[in-house]
Amino acid sequence: MNHMSAEAASAPLALALNCTNCPWRAMCLPAGLAGAALEAFSLVVGARRTVLRNERLHAAGAPFGSLYAVLCGEFKTQCAAPAGGMQLTGVVMTGELLGLDAIASGRYESEAVALSDSMVCVIPYAALAALMARQPVLALRFHALFSAESARRQRHALLLGKARAPQRLALLLLDLSARYAARGRSGTAFHLSMSREDIAAYTCLTVESISRLLSRFKQTGVLDVSNRDIVLSDPAALHALAKLPP
Protein backbone atom coordinates (compact mmCIF):
# COMPACT_ATOMS: atom_id res chain seq x y z
CA MET A 1 0.00 0.00 0.00
CA ASN A 2 1.54 3.32 -1.00
CA HIS A 3 0.90 6.03 1.52
CA MET A 4 0.65 9.09 -0.60
CA SER A 5 1.67 12.58 0.30
CA ALA A 6 -1.78 13.52 1.53
CA GLU A 7 -1.39 11.91 4.86
CA ALA A 8 1.99 13.29 5.61
CA ALA A 9 0.78 16.72 4.65
CA SER A 10 -2.52 16.54 6.50
CA ALA A 11 -1.27 17.44 9.95
CA PRO A 12 0.26 20.82 9.10
CA LEU A 13 -2.40 21.69 6.53
CA ALA A 14 -5.45 20.79 8.55
CA LEU A 15 -5.53 23.99 10.52
CA ALA A 16 -4.57 26.25 7.66
CA LEU A 17 -7.13 24.78 5.24
CA ASN A 18 -10.31 26.63 4.59
CA CYS A 19 -12.58 26.93 1.62
CA THR A 20 -11.24 30.33 0.66
CA ASN A 21 -7.90 29.00 -0.46
CA CYS A 22 -9.01 25.49 -1.38
CA PRO A 23 -7.90 24.61 -4.92
CA TRP A 24 -11.10 22.63 -5.52
CA ARG A 25 -13.47 25.36 -4.52
CA ALA A 26 -14.62 25.98 -8.06
CA MET A 27 -16.08 22.49 -8.38
CA CYS A 28 -17.07 21.95 -4.76
CA LEU A 29 -20.23 22.88 -2.89
CA PRO A 30 -19.31 26.53 -2.21
CA ALA A 31 -18.63 27.23 -5.89
CA GLY A 32 -19.90 30.66 -6.79
CA LEU A 33 -19.70 31.95 -3.26
CA ALA A 34 -17.40 34.81 -2.35
CA GLY A 35 -16.64 37.24 0.43
CA ALA A 36 -18.68 36.93 3.59
CA ALA A 37 -20.84 34.13 2.21
CA LEU A 38 -17.79 32.01 1.49
CA GLU A 39 -16.37 32.64 4.92
CA ALA A 40 -19.67 31.74 6.54
CA PHE A 41 -19.69 28.50 4.62
CA SER A 42 -16.13 27.83 5.62
CA LEU A 43 -17.18 28.01 9.25
CA VAL A 44 -19.84 25.37 8.65
CA VAL A 45 -17.18 22.90 7.62
CA GLY A 46 -16.43 21.33 10.93
CA ALA A 47 -13.29 19.34 10.42
CA ARG A 48 -11.16 17.43 8.01
CA ARG A 49 -10.86 13.71 8.33
CA THR A 50 -8.26 11.36 6.96
CA VAL A 51 -9.38 8.03 5.52
CA LEU A 52 -6.75 5.52 4.48
CA ARG A 53 -7.10 3.20 1.54
CA ASN A 54 -9.68 0.46 2.11
CA GLU A 55 -10.95 2.25 5.18
CA ARG A 56 -14.61 3.09 5.44
CA LEU A 57 -15.79 6.69 5.74
CA HIS A 58 -19.31 5.72 6.70
CA ALA A 59 -21.24 2.48 6.85
CA ALA A 60 -24.49 1.77 5.07
CA GLY A 61 -27.40 2.29 7.42
CA ALA A 62 -25.46 4.51 9.81
CA PRO A 63 -27.42 7.54 11.04
CA PHE A 64 -26.94 10.57 8.86
CA GLY A 65 -25.36 13.67 10.27
CA SER A 66 -22.91 15.11 7.79
CA LEU A 67 -22.14 15.38 4.17
CA TYR A 68 -18.53 14.97 3.09
CA ALA A 69 -16.60 16.82 0.42
CA VAL A 70 -13.60 14.98 -0.96
CA LEU A 71 -10.50 17.09 -0.50
CA CYS A 72 -8.06 14.60 -1.94
CA GLY A 73 -8.10 10.96 -2.86
CA GLU A 74 -10.91 8.84 -4.25
CA PHE A 75 -13.84 6.87 -2.87
CA LYS A 76 -16.18 4.16 -4.03
CA THR A 77 -19.76 4.03 -2.84
CA GLN A 78 -21.33 0.62 -2.63
CA CYS A 79 -24.20 -1.23 -1.12
CA ALA A 80 -24.93 -4.87 -0.52
CA ALA A 81 -26.60 -6.40 -3.54
CA PRO A 82 -29.51 -8.69 -2.69
CA ALA A 83 -27.65 -11.42 -4.54
CA GLY A 84 -24.84 -11.32 -2.02
CA GLY A 85 -21.97 -9.33 -3.44
CA MET A 86 -21.32 -5.61 -3.37
CA GLN A 87 -22.85 -3.34 -5.97
CA LEU A 88 -20.66 -0.36 -6.70
CA THR A 89 -22.83 2.68 -7.22
CA GLY A 90 -20.25 5.33 -7.89
CA VAL A 91 -16.71 6.60 -7.82
CA VAL A 92 -16.32 9.91 -6.03
CA MET A 93 -13.43 12.24 -6.76
CA THR A 94 -11.89 15.41 -5.46
CA GLY A 95 -14.39 18.25 -5.06
CA GLU A 96 -17.41 15.95 -5.11
CA LEU A 97 -19.91 15.32 -2.34
CA LEU A 98 -20.61 12.15 -0.40
CA GLY A 99 -23.77 11.37 1.53
CA LEU A 100 -26.43 13.14 -0.53
CA ASP A 101 -28.57 10.03 -0.68
CA ALA A 102 -28.82 9.92 3.11
CA ILE A 103 -31.00 12.99 3.51
CA ALA A 104 -34.32 11.37 2.69
CA SER A 105 -34.10 8.45 5.08
CA GLY A 106 -31.78 9.96 7.67
CA ARG A 107 -29.41 7.05 7.13
CA TYR A 108 -26.57 6.55 4.70
CA GLU A 109 -27.93 4.39 1.91
CA SER A 110 -24.54 3.14 0.88
CA GLU A 111 -21.11 2.82 2.40
CA ALA A 112 -18.14 4.86 1.23
CA VAL A 113 -14.71 3.23 1.08
CA ALA A 114 -11.48 5.01 0.19
CA LEU A 115 -9.85 3.73 -3.00
CA SER A 116 -6.70 5.64 -2.10
CA ASP A 117 -5.55 7.50 0.98
CA SER A 118 -7.91 10.42 1.19
CA MET A 119 -9.09 13.44 3.10
CA VAL A 120 -12.62 14.75 3.39
CA CYS A 121 -14.22 17.92 4.72
CA VAL A 122 -17.01 17.18 7.16
CA ILE A 123 -20.11 19.29 6.51
CA PRO A 124 -22.75 18.98 9.25
CA TYR A 125 -26.09 18.95 7.51
CA ALA A 126 -28.00 20.86 10.17
CA ALA A 127 -25.57 23.77 10.02
CA LEU A 128 -25.58 23.66 6.24
CA ALA A 129 -29.37 23.76 6.12
CA ALA A 130 -29.38 26.73 8.47
CA LEU A 131 -26.88 28.59 6.32
CA MET A 132 -28.76 27.80 3.14
CA ALA A 133 -31.84 29.47 4.58
CA ARG A 134 -29.80 32.67 4.77
CA GLN A 135 -27.83 32.17 1.56
CA PRO A 136 -30.13 31.43 -1.37
CA VAL A 137 -27.16 31.21 -3.72
CA LEU A 138 -25.79 28.36 -1.66
CA ALA A 139 -29.16 26.62 -1.67
CA LEU A 140 -29.31 26.84 -5.44
CA ARG A 141 -25.84 25.41 -5.73
CA PHE A 142 -26.81 22.61 -3.38
CA HIS A 143 -29.87 21.77 -5.45
CA ALA A 144 -27.75 21.75 -8.57
CA LEU A 145 -25.34 19.24 -7.05
CA PHE A 146 -28.28 17.12 -6.00
CA SER A 147 -29.68 17.23 -9.46
CA ALA A 148 -26.32 16.37 -10.96
CA GLU A 149 -26.08 13.37 -8.67
CA SER A 150 -29.46 12.23 -9.85
CA ALA A 151 -28.42 12.64 -13.47
CA ARG A 152 -25.25 10.66 -12.81
CA ARG A 153 -27.28 7.82 -11.38
CA GLN A 154 -29.49 7.91 -14.43
CA ARG A 155 -26.52 7.62 -16.75
CA HIS A 156 -25.29 4.68 -14.71
CA ALA A 157 -28.68 3.01 -14.98
CA LEU A 158 -28.62 3.56 -18.70
CA LEU A 159 -25.14 2.10 -18.92
CA LEU A 160 -26.22 -1.00 -17.06
CA GLY A 161 -29.43 -1.43 -18.95
CA LYS A 162 -28.63 -0.71 -22.54
CA ALA A 163 -24.90 -1.19 -22.96
CA ARG A 164 -23.10 -4.42 -23.78
CA ALA A 165 -19.98 -5.37 -21.90
CA PRO A 166 -17.40 -3.59 -24.13
CA GLN A 167 -19.41 -0.38 -24.03
CA ARG A 168 -19.79 -0.50 -20.30
CA LEU A 169 -16.06 -0.69 -19.80
CA ALA A 170 -15.36 1.92 -22.45
CA LEU A 171 -17.86 4.31 -20.87
CA LEU A 172 -16.34 3.87 -17.44
CA LEU A 173 -12.83 4.53 -18.74
CA LEU A 174 -13.97 7.61 -20.64
CA ASP A 175 -15.82 8.87 -17.57
CA LEU A 176 -12.73 8.50 -15.42
CA SER A 177 -10.61 10.06 -18.14
CA ALA A 178 -12.82 13.14 -18.41
CA ARG A 179 -12.93 13.61 -14.67
CA TYR A 180 -9.17 13.33 -14.27
CA ALA A 181 -8.74 15.82 -17.09
CA ALA A 182 -11.19 18.20 -15.40
CA ARG A 183 -8.92 18.08 -12.36
CA GLY A 184 -5.81 19.06 -14.26
CA ARG A 185 -4.41 15.56 -14.51
CA SER A 186 -3.79 13.54 -17.64
CA GLY A 187 -6.92 12.20 -19.20
CA THR A 188 -5.03 9.74 -21.37
CA ALA A 189 -2.68 8.11 -18.87
CA PHE A 190 -3.73 7.41 -15.33
CA HIS A 191 -3.61 4.91 -12.54
CA LEU A 192 -6.74 2.87 -11.87
CA SER A 193 -7.58 3.17 -8.22
CA MET A 194 -10.23 0.51 -8.73
CA SER A 195 -9.37 -3.16 -8.70
CA ARG A 196 -10.70 -5.42 -11.42
CA GLU A 197 -13.25 -6.57 -8.92
CA ASP A 198 -14.35 -2.97 -8.33
CA ILE A 199 -14.67 -2.40 -12.06
CA ALA A 200 -16.71 -5.58 -12.35
CA ALA A 201 -18.97 -4.48 -9.50
CA TYR A 202 -19.50 -1.07 -11.10
CA THR A 203 -20.26 -2.41 -14.56
CA CYS A 204 -22.16 -5.42 -13.22
CA LEU A 205 -19.96 -7.84 -15.11
CA THR A 206 -17.60 -10.52 -13.85
CA VAL A 207 -13.89 -10.09 -13.17
CA GLU A 208 -13.21 -12.51 -15.98
CA SER A 209 -15.11 -10.40 -18.47
CA ILE A 210 -13.25 -7.26 -17.41
CA SER A 211 -9.95 -9.02 -17.79
CA ARG A 212 -10.84 -10.38 -21.21
CA LEU A 213 -12.07 -6.97 -22.36
CA LEU A 214 -8.94 -5.17 -21.22
CA SER A 215 -6.82 -7.74 -23.02
CA ARG A 216 -8.93 -7.36 -26.15
CA PHE A 217 -8.75 -3.55 -26.02
CA LYS A 218 -5.01 -3.80 -25.58
CA GLN A 219 -4.60 -6.21 -28.46
CA THR A 220 -6.61 -4.00 -30.80
CA GLY A 221 -4.45 -1.04 -29.87
CA VAL A 222 -7.22 0.97 -28.23
CA LEU A 223 -5.29 1.24 -24.98
CA ASP A 224 -2.29 -0.03 -23.14
CA VAL A 225 -2.70 -1.52 -19.73
CA SER A 226 -0.21 -2.89 -17.28
CA ASN A 227 -1.58 -3.84 -13.91
CA ARG A 228 -3.45 -0.76 -12.86
CA ASP A 229 -1.64 1.72 -15.08
CA ILE A 230 -3.61 2.55 -18.15
CA VAL A 231 -2.90 4.59 -21.27
CA LEU A 232 -5.72 5.46 -23.63
CA SER A 233 -3.68 5.28 -26.84
CA ASP A 234 -6.64 5.77 -29.13
CA PRO A 235 -9.37 7.80 -27.44
CA ALA A 236 -11.31 8.05 -30.69
CA ALA A 237 -11.52 4.28 -30.94
CA LEU A 238 -12.61 4.11 -27.33
CA HIS A 239 -15.34 6.63 -28.02
CA ALA A 240 -16.41 4.50 -30.95
CA LEU A 241 -16.54 1.46 -28.68
CA ALA A 242 -18.67 3.40 -26.24
CA LYS A 243 -21.38 3.96 -28.84
CA LEU A 244 -24.25 1.60 -28.36
CA PRO A 245 -25.34 0.56 -31.88
CA PRO A 246 -22.53 -1.91 -32.83
Partner DNA sequence: CGTGAACTTGACAGAATTCAAAGTCTGTGG
Partner DNA sequence: CCACAGACTTTGAATTCTGTCAAGTTCACG
Q: Which is nearer to DNA, 68 or 217 (CB)?
A: 217
- Which amino acid is residue 201, in one-letter code? A
Q: Which is nearer to a second copy, 50 or 203 (CB)?
A: 203
Q: Which is nearer to DNA, 81 or 181 (CB)?
A: 81
Among 136, 184, 226, 236, binds a second copy (CB under 8 A): 136
Radius of gyration of the chain (CA): 19
Q: Which is nearer to a second copy, 37 or 79 (CB)?
A: 79
Confirm if 79 and 65 have CB atoms less than 8 A apart.
Answer: no
Using CB under 8 A, which of the segments 11-19, 24-32, 97-105, 222-230 binds a second copy? 97-105
Q: Which is nearer to a second copy, 29 or 72 (CB)?
A: 29
Site for DNA in 137-166 (CB under 7 A): 164-166
Q: Which does 2 bind (CB under 5 to 8 A by kind): DNA, a second copy, none?
A: DNA
Report which of 122, 133, 118 is spatially closest to residue 43, judged by C-alpha positions: 122
Confirm if 67 and 108 have CB atoms less than 8 A apart.
Answer: no
187-203 per-residue burial string, b: 16 or more CB within 10 A, e: under 16: beebebbbebebbbbbb
At its nearest, how many Å lie between DNA and the CB of residue 171? Answer: 12
Examine residue 36 and tell whether it contacts a second copy (CB under 8 A): no
- β-sheet bridge partners, residue 124: 66
Q: Which does 224 bind (CB under 5 to 8 A by kind): DNA, a second copy, none?
A: none
Examine residue 220 and tell whether it contacts a second copy (CB under 8 A): no
Spatial distance between the Cα atoms of 180 and 189, rounded to a whole number of angstroms: 10
Confirm if 100 and 145 have CB atoms less than 8 A apart.
Answer: yes
* Helix orientation angle between 136-162 and 165-182, rounded to the nearest 10 degrees: 150
Which residues contact a second copy by CB under 8 A? 79, 81-84, 87, 89, 100-105, 109-110, 129-130, 132-134, 136, 139-140, 143-151, 153-154, 156-158, 160-162, 203-204, 243-245
